[in-house]
Chains A and B, each alone.
Chain A
Amino acid sequence: MGFFEKISAGLKKTRDSLMGRLEDLAAGFTKVDEDFFDELEETLIMGDVGANVTMRIMDELRDRVRHAGITEPTEVIGQLREIITGLMGEESPLDLSTKPSVVLVIGVNGVGKTTTIGKMAAYLRGEGKQVLLAAADTFRAAAAEQLAVWADRAGAELIRHEEGSDPASVVFDAIHAGKSRGADVIICDTAGRLHNKKNLMDELSKIARVISRELPDAAVEVLLVLDATTGQNAISQARSFQEAAGITGIVLTKLDGTAKGGAVIGIREELGVPVKFIGVGEGIDDLRPFVPAEFAAALFEGQEL
Chain B
Amino acid sequence: MAFEGLSGRLSEVFKKLKGRGKVKESDIKEVMREVRMALLEADVNYKVAKDFVASVSEKAMGSEVLESLTPAQQIIKIVNDELTELMGSTNARITFSSKIPTIIMMCGLQGAGKTTHCAKLSRYFKQSGKRPLLAACDVYRPAAIQQLQIVGEQAGVPVFEMGQGDPVEIARKAVLHARDYGNDILILDTAGRLHIDEELMDELRRIKEAVQPQEILLVIDAMTGQDAVNVAKSFDETLGIDGTILTKLDGDTRGGAALSVRAVTGKPIKFVGTGEKLDNLEPFYPDRMASRILGMGDVLTLIEKA
Residue positions of A touching B, CB distance < 8 A? 10-12, 42, 45-48, 50-52, 108-112, 118, 139-142, 145-146, 148-150, 194-197, 227, 229-236, 254, 256-259, 262-263, 266, 282, 303, 305
Contact = CB atoms under 8 A, between A and B. Distances in A.
B245 to A, nearest CB: 14
B147 to A, nearest CB: 4
Interface string B181-203: 00000000000001111100000
A51 B37 contact: yes
Interface stretch (B18-26, B246-254, B282-290): B246-254
B248 A146 contact: no
B41 A236 contact: no
Interface of B: 1-3, 37, 40-43, 45-47, 109-113, 140-144, 146-147, 149-151, 154, 194-198, 221, 223-227, 229-231, 233, 248, 250-254, 256-257, 264, 276
Max chain A CB contacts within 10 Å: which of B45, B142, B225? B225
Max chain B CB contacts within 10 Å: which of A10, A142, A196, A256? A142
Contacts of A257: 109, 194-196, 227
A236 B3 contact: yes
Contacts of A235: 2
B250 A112 contact: no
Given A109-B276, A110-B110, A149-B142, A229 B150 contact: no
26 contacts: A10-B197, A11-B196, A12-B198, A48-B227, A51-B41, A52-B2, A52-B41, A108-B223, A109-B113, A109-B276, A110-B111, A111-B111, A142-B147, A194-B248, A195-B252, A197-B250, A227-B223, A229-B227, A230-B221, A232-B41, A233-B252, A259-B225, A259-B226, A263-B225, A266-B2, A303-B227
Max chain A CB contacts within 10 Å: which of B2, B144, B226? B226
B144 to A, nearest CB: 8
Contacts of A12: 198
B224 A231 contact: yes
A145 B253 contact: no
Nearest to A47: B226
A180 to B, nearest CB: 28
A230 B223 contact: yes
Nearest to A118: B142
Contact of B251 (A10, A42, A195, A282): A195
Max chain B CB contacts within 10 Å: which of A227, A232, A262? A232
B225 to A, nearest CB: 3
Given A146-B143, A196-B251, A254 B225 contact: no
Given A112-B111, A305-B229, A142 B224 contact: no
A91 B109 CA distance: 29
Contacts of B150: 141-142
Given A112-B111, A232-B254, A233-B43, A45 B226 contact: yes
A141 B149 CA distance: 9
Nearest to B251: A194
Contact of A146 (B46, B142, B149): B142
Nearest to A150: B142
Contacts of A227: 111, 221, 223
Contact of A231 (B143, B154, B196, B257): B257
Contacts of B233: 305
A129 B141 CA distance: 26
Given A50-B40, A146-B142, 8 more contacts: A48-B43, A108-B251, A141-B146, A141-B150, A141-B154, A149-B143, A231-B253, A282-B141
Given A51-B37, A52-B2, A10 B196 contact: yes
A232 B42 contact: yes
A48 B196 CA distance: 19
A231 B46 contact: no
A189 to B, nearest CB: 12
A108 B151 CA distance: 20
Contact of A110 (B140, B221, B252, B256): B221
Contact of A230 (B40, B195, B225): B225
B223 A233 contact: yes
A177 to B, nearest CB: 22
A50 B41 contact: yes
B278 to A, nearest CB: 10
A234 B223 CA distance: 8
Contacts of B250: 194, 196-197
Given A142-B150, A149-B142, A256-B194, A305 B224 contact: no
Contacts of A141: 146-147, 150-151, 154
Max chain B CB contacts within 10 Å: which of A231, A256, A257, A259? A231
Contacts of A229: 109, 221, 224-225, 227, 231
B239 to A, nearest CB: 18
A110 B3 CA distance: 23
A270 to B, nearest CB: 9
Contacts of A118: 142
A234 B41 CA distance: 12
Given A110-B111, A112-B111, A142-B143, A48 B226 contact: yes
A196 B250 CA distance: 8
Given A109-B276, A257-B194, A145 B146 contact: yes
